């Protein structure tokens, strides 16, 4: 089954790290490197697109739901406690119909847990962030932030994007900059070895200030390096130096 970033998750379900762990009360369980949580942001609508045959195809569309976005020192989390209707995941069927198909594909024990209830949850750790963008509110579009990553869970790297649409009171430009700052701090705190060119590019992003509005659409900043979802080789930092400090 294709990994689509967000899925219905049962309380205390083992997700192999691909999705957030939920407590018995369906709260998102903190991870050791989460650090100080940012303020929860209400998301008006969220979608996930995936590159298919040369163009991005929508895999997830969540609307008319109480969606929450959290940005920690190690990851971005999207969460919705009540989701019986309002969009689709993996097909054009309403997500209220997804549970039966999902239950049929898991073990009896996990299926029993799912019947007790689920919450929608997904997360993206900062090492997987490939690029971030924002767009201003216009007469035709909501203000929004987009996060790009590579999915390798099926053994082939595929370009994917998450789009978060906010209400007018959210400063999407500031949210995008905060995402960059957290990703930079996380990556600078790891034991990765960067080339001189990569280090120079990281430093340019670190000191660049707000992402410039070059057009009315999405304004992108691409990170020098990233690690695909489902890939191997990345070792998380033991602690995070925040804000990011340039390496010598």
Can you give the CATH number for the domain in which 150 is found? 2.30.29.30
Which residues fall within 8 angstroms of residue 208, CB to CB, at 6 or more apart? 221
* Distance in angstroms (rounded) separating the CA atoms of residues 124 and 226: 12
Between 102 and 59, where is the model more confident?
59
Within-domain flag for 228: no
Question: Does 46 map to a domain?
Answer: yes
* Mean pLDDT in residue range 45-69: 94
Q: How far apart are CA 118 and CA 82, in angstroms?
A: 8
Whether 230 is covered by a domain: the verdict is no
Residue 129 lies in a domain: yes
Q: What is the pLDDT of residue 226?
A: 97
For the residues 138-148, what does the mean pLDDT come to?
A: 91
The reported pTM is 0.86
Q: What is the pLDDT of residues 82-109, one digit of tens each?
A: 876 555 676 555 554 443 334 344 444 4
Among 23-27, 89-93, 146-150, the minimum mean pLDDT is found in 89-93
CA distances from 153 to 156, 159, 214, 237 (A): 7, 12, 34, 22
Domain count, the chain: 1
Would residue 236 count as lying in a domain?
A: no
Residue 83 lies in a domain: yes
Domain containing 76 equals: 6-222
Residue 231 belongs to a domain: no
Whether 68 is in a domain gets the answer yes
- 8-state DSSP, 17: T
């Amino acid at each position: 089954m294709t990994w689509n970033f967000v899925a219905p998750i049962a309380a205390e379900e083992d997700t192999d790290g691909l999705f957030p762990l939920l407590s018995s009360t369906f709260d998102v369980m903190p991870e050791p490197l989460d650090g100080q949580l940012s303020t929860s942001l209400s998301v008006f609508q969220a979608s996930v697109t995936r590159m298919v045959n040369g163009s991005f195809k929508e895999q997830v569309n969540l609307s008319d739901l109480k969606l929450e976005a959290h940005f920690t020192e190690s990851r971005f989390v999207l969460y919705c406690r009540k989701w019986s209707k309002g969009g689709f995941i993996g097909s054009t069927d309403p997500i209220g119909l997804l549970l039966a198909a999902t239950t049929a594909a898991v073990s009896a024990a996990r299926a029993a847990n799912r019947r007790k209830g689920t919450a929608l949850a997904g997360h993206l750790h900062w090492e997987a962030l490939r690029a971030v963008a924002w767009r201003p509110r216009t007469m035709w579009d909501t203000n929004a932030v987009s996060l790009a990553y590579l999915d390798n869970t099926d053994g082939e790297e595929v370009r994917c994007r998450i789009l978060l649409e906010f209400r007018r009171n959210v400063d999407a430009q500031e949210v995008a900059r905060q995402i960059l700052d957290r990703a930079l701090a996380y990556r600078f705190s790891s034991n990765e070895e960067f080339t001189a060119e990569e280090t120079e590019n990281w430093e340019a992003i670190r000191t660049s200030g707000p992402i410039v509005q070059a057009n009315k659409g999405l304004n992108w900043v691409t990170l020098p390096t990233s690690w695909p979802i489902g890939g191997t080789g990345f070792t998380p930092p033991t602690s995070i130096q925040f804000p990011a400090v340039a390496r010598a």
